[in-house]
Amino acid sequence: MGADQSGGDAASVVDRLIGAVEAHDYEGIEAVLAEDIVYDNVPIGVVNGRSEVGAVLRRTLDRAGTVEWRVIRQVAVEDTVMNERLDRFEVGDRWIEIAVAGIFVVRAGEITLWRDYFDLETYRRQQSVDG
């Protein structure tokens, strides 16, 4: 059991991750990831390790001029944070929007597990519009 029963510390770590993602701040992203993080982007697959997750995020974020991850709801209990988000990526002259449910486990101020659930086909349809 963690000292913070409310999950406030864990939620602030996830909030820092989201802020870093939106800012394309790759050092900030990696700063909140554990060295042995497991990132399960459910419809795509699992990536293990801080540098590997950083590389995956860099490839995704570098395609977008602006990134907005709007947290609609978030709940945190002890070391676990769950949120409902609308992840938005401005690519060229259009926005790609994906409804996401995320689960994070935070230990010692670092995210050790990150699992995102979303509909891959929704993402692919928006990517292929006009090309």
Give 3-41 as a DSSP string.
Answer: S-TT-HHHHHHHHHHHHHHHTT-HHHHHHTEEEEEEEEE
pLDDT (0 to 100) of residue 128: 72
Spatial neighbors of 15 by CB under 8 A, at least 6 apart, are none
Residues in the chain: 131
Q: Tokens 């990526």 belong to which residue?
A: 89
CATH number of 8-128: 3.10.450.50
Q: Phi and psi (nearest 5°) for 63? A: -75, -20
| Confidence (pTM) | 0.89
The H-or-E segment that residue 86 falls in is strand 80-91
pLDDT digits (tens, 9 = 90+) for 87-111: 999 999 999 999 999 999 999 999 9
Over the stretch 14-71, which tens digit does the pLDDT of each residue have?
999 999 999 999 999 999 999 999 999 999 999 999 999 999 999 999 999 999 999 9
Q: Where are the domains of the chain?
A: 8-128
Is a pLDDT exceeding 60 seen at residue 114? yes
